């Protein structure tokens, strides 16, 4: 097997692993008329309650144009609450509503359980190496 073949297997593993991780959440999102971006919004807002829109843009590495429609939809549907910052009225703060927390938990818990099962099977050393590879893949991203 050549190095290129090995790298192609790595690409395929990434593709199929990602597809397996998003399959169930994507099915649920489709039932609700939502897409993967909506799950990402719920996830990142849940991890940083009261984040600003600009902070969310930086975290997700997306543009305002890409964020605008799905965020507006999540606010209109009652999943995310937007408030004005007390110290700077130009800043909009975001937090999940009870409805948003419930959906985020439902979607992400499937993925957390899958990771827990796999990490239990491969052991802490393999999990550590996987985290290192993922961190290194995340470095030097040019957007």
Other C-beta atoms lying within 10 Å of the C-beta of residue 95 = 16
Question: What Cα–Cα distance (Å) separates residue 123 from each residue in 97, 108, 109, 114, 129?
Answer: 36, 22, 20, 14, 10
C-alpha to C-alpha distance for 143 and 140, rounded to whole angstroms: 10
Contact yes or no for 117/106 (Cβ under 8 A): no
**What is residue 77's predicted lDDT score, i.e. its pLDDT?**
98
Contact yes or no for 100/42 (Cβ under 8 A): yes
Sequence-ordered list of residues with C-beta below 8 angstroms from that of 21, at least 6 positions apart, any chain: 111, 114
Average pLDDT, stretch 12-25? 97
Query: 141 pLDDT exceeds 80?
Result: no
Select from 133, 13, 137, 20 the least CA-distant residue to 5. Answer: 13
**What is residue 117's predicted lDDT score, i.e. its pLDDT?**
98
DSSP 61-73: T--HHHHHHHHHH
Residue 109 is encoded by which pair of tokens? 């818990």
Q: Mind listing the domains of the chain with CATH numbers?
A: 3-138 (1.10.10.10)
State pLDDT tens for residues 65-120.
999 999 999 999 999 999 999 999 999 999 999 999 999 999 999 999 999 999 99
C-alpha to C-alpha distance for 4 and 78, rounded to whole angstroms: 48
**What is residue 58's predicted lDDT score, i.e. its pLDDT?**
94
Query: 62 pLDDT exceeds 60?
Result: yes
């Amino acid at each position: 097997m050549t190095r290129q073949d090995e790298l192609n297997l790595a690409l395929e593993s990434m593709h199929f692993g990602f597809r397996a991780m998003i399959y169930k959440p994507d099915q649920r999102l489709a039932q609700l008329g939502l897409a993967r971006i909506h799950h990402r919004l719920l996830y990142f807002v849940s991890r940083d309650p009261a984040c600003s829109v600009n902070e969310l843009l930086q975290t997700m590495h997306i543009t305002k144009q890409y964020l605008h429609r799905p965020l507006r939809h999540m606010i209109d549907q009652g999943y995310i609450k937007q408030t004005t910052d007390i110290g700077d009225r130009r800043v909009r703060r975001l937090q999940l509503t009870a409805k948003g927390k419930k959906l985020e938990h439902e979607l992400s818990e499937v993925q957390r359980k899958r990771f827990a099962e796999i990490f239990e099977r491969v052991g802490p050393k393999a999990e550590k190496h996987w985290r290192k590879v993922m961190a290194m893949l995340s470095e030097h991203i040019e957007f």
